[in-house]
Chain A
Amino acid sequence: MVRLALVGLGKMGLSHLSIVRAHPQVNLVGVCDPSKFMLELLGKNAGLETFTDLETMIKRARPEAIIVATPSRFHGEIVRVALERGIHVFCEKPFCLDWKESADLAEFAEQKGLVNQVGYHYRFVAAFQEVKRLLEANAIGTVTHVLAEAYGPVVLRPAGSSWRTQKSEGGGCLYDYAAHPINLLNWYFGMPERVGGTVIKKIFSRDTDDEVYGTVFFEDGPSAQISVNWSDESYRKMSVKLSITGTAGRIIADRQECKVYLRDGTRPATGYSKGWNVRYTTELTEPVWFYVRGEEYSLQIDYFVKAIVSGSRENVNSFAAAAQTDQMMSMMREDAQGMVTAPLASPAVQQRKRPLFGRLEEGGLVRNDAKFAFWR
């Protein structure tokens, strides 16, 4: 049995909590959150040991592993505290708002030999795993271009007051939505050498972004275009879709299905034939022991727990992998501010359009220590 604790009882924290409590190899030893409401609710009705302070929880509950599901701004420091105490960590995405911190923590976790995983659950979606398998089998030849999309109906009017609507807290369409297709691109193609033409805009939000578009270029690899909008009411819920074009065919994949067009039938390793092929989630998805909101959420937790139990250090969605995604998002943010102005514009105009401090402000992480103290 793995002694596991959880920090942060928001939307993702509750979902993880439900899954870990139902896991046969987990002993949930404590939950930590600043909200008295949530702690009383769960303490009284679910019989959990509750804490408002991370250090106290670690000291008293002695977890071997921890799930971090706080607002993104707090991830880095909480993860560091856990790693220092030799605790395996599963952290929600995005990992850290400053990718250098992500890379540091990745190195630290590896040094300590601890299991480290970030909640990019799309890597556990069967259709996207099938895409990985097909690309590794070179099923569609050399990939030339990818369209990576995500749409959904999150912010549909000028309102909202949670941390997810604050860019400084790690909220917004880039961190919340675009992170997923970007992470899939990293999984399939690694880190791009450059990004270009990035557009990060508000539609309804006051304090953060609602749509993200841009192009990325992988060295000796494909180009990819990212198109993400979380203010799109025409989608019932979040929908992530990849369209991958290669010299020998094409793959179109979303959570439900993986559609493959092969130009010729001479790639037997794939099990696909010439022309259109479709594999549905119903046949691709492996069964889980407990289901709350999608097999992938259960599978990623199961992977984390099994890695701890078995001593395997083959991390999927490792801190290092998530650091790539954090870095790529940071590249896009910088690119979005550095748009090339029209050649006729005077230097003064260009200067105004690209203020030095604006850039620092965007790229840097301003930590509110008063709020942060909560978690320690």
Chain B
Amino acid sequence: MMPNLLFGDNQFFGINHMSEEKARAQALQFQDIKEVFKTLDAAYDEGIKTFMCTTHDRVEEICDHVRANPDRYHDYAFYPCMPYAHKYANAATEEGVIGAIKKFAPESGAWSAAVRSGVSLVGKDISGITRLLIDAEMQMFKGLRTPVVFLQNVVVDLLLGLGMTEPFAVFSDHVRTKYNAEPGFITMNLPLLLGVLDDLKIENPIVCSNINKLGFRMCGGVGAYQEALQGRRFRAIAMSVFASGAIPPSEAISWVCAQPNVEAIVFGASSRSNIRSTKGLVDQFWKGGNPVLA
């Protein structure tokens, strides 16, 4: 069972979809990693013990901190979301697409062998590349609990559009077998993705997508999302429930909690008071902390 509130990480890395100024203010606030720890502790002490985070370089420091304090964080869980796309995008501008893949795949024997035998071999073995990249991204979480591992929306949606969906199945299998974790998918195109995951026989998948009253970045429209929530078999996580602050908190949470079959909400906050008020709203609208199951 997934907890119904997950703590997100956008605020720690200067990501805000509404304002660059706000993003910069947050980057300043969290420049010192101790401030990040403090906020994670505040969430933890409010009972939010799952951190859904990208594989940003700074998350490694958080991992080190949690590993170093096993007593404090014995029941702490990470939900890694891979990859942190900007590091690949910037590398692709600098080194080209293939150069970027090479740069981030580990210097393992398998990769070196693939390079030695020529790129066309790699072209035929997409599952090999996918597994190598997953392993590279998972390294920082060694020894930590990672019950769910997500593929980020940029990659999910890029592959979804390309019609190159085999990596979803490879990701799913690899995450299950090697990391004993549930695979998760983040997307801005929920209805479309669910159809593809069905075709791949990935059953009852965990899928995280924007679910907000405004319909912000919900491709296919609010109606199609509501139909999917009502009629399809998957485990929904709602993100961007406040649409980056465009919807007042109480209105936002009450709307999301009224949607059927949402299993969890992921949210970010920079202060203990905001964490507490979101938690309070969720407790209020999801009676007893349980989602309204239709």
Q: Is the CB of A164 within 8 A of B161?
A: no
**A18 CA to B192 CA in the complex, in Å?**
13
| B243 CB within 8 Å of chain A | yes
Q: Is the CB of B243 within 8 A of A45?
A: no
Report the minimum CB–CB distance from B28 to chain A (whole Å).
11
Chain A interface size, under 10 / 10 to 19 / 20 to 34 / 35 or more: 35 or more
| A371 CB within 8 Å of chain B | no
Q: Is the CB of A236 within 8 A of B94?
A: no
Q: Is the CB of B18 within 8 A of A17?
A: no
Query: With a CB–CB cut-off of 8 A, which chain A residues contact B192?
Result: 22, 290
Q: A18-B158, A21-B162, A45-B166 are in contact. Are A37 and B94 (CB under 8 A)?
A: no
Query: With a CB–CB cut-off of 8 A, which chain B residues contact A292?
Result: 154, 157-158, 161, 188
Query: With a CB–CB cut-off of 8 A, which chain A residues contact B154?
Result: 292-293
Q: Is the CB of A287 within 8 A of B95?
A: no
Report the minimum CB–CB distance from A4 to chain B (whole Å).
14
Report the minimum CB–CB distance from B42 to chain A (whole Å).
24
Report the minimum CB–CB distance from A11 to chain B (whole Å).
5
Main secondary structure of the interface of B (DSSP, over half): helix
Interfacial residues of chain B within 41-98, with CB under 8 A of chain A in the complex: 86, 89-90, 92-98
| B120 CB within 8 Å of chain A | yes
| B124 CB within 8 Å of chain A | yes
Query: With a CB–CB cut-off of 8 A, which chain B residues contact A25?
Result: none
Report the minimum CB–CB distance from B39 to chain A (whole Å).
19
**A22 CA to B156 CA in the complex, in Å?**
13
How many contacts A-B (CB < 8 Å)?
143
A35, A254, A290: the one within 8 Å of B20 (CB) = A254
Q: Is the CB of B160 within 8 A of A22?
A: yes
Total interface residues in chain B, CB < 8 Å: 51
| A40 CB within 8 Å of chain B | yes
**A45 CA to B126 CA in the complex, in Å?**
8
| A351 CB within 8 Å of chain B | no
**A42 CA to B284 CA in the complex, in Å?**
49
Q: Kindly specify which of B176-184, B212-220, B261-269 makes contact with the partner chain.
A: B212-220
Q: Is the CB of A287 within 8 A of B219?
A: yes
Query: With a CB–CB cut-off of 8 A, which chain A residues contact B18?
Result: 256-257, 280-282
Q: Is the CB of B160 within 8 A of A18?
A: yes
Contact with B along A228-244 (1 / 0, CB 8 A): 00000000110101000
Query: Would you list 29 pairs from A and B whose C-beta atoms are within 8 A, ordered by A residue?
Result: A9-B97, A10-B92, A14-B158, A15-B158, A18-B159, A18-B161, A35-B98, A37-B123, A39-B123, A41-B126, A44-B124, A46-B162, A154-B90, A154-B93, A162-B95, A164-B94, A236-B27, A236-B86, A256-B19, A257-B19, A281-B17, A282-B214, A282-B216, A282-B243, A291-B157, A291-B217, A291-B219, A292-B158, A293-B158
Chain A contacts to B: CB under 8 angstroms: 9-11, 14-15, 17-19, 21-22, 35-42, 44-47, 153-155, 159-165, 176, 236-237, 239, 241, 254-257, 280-283, 285, 287-293, 295
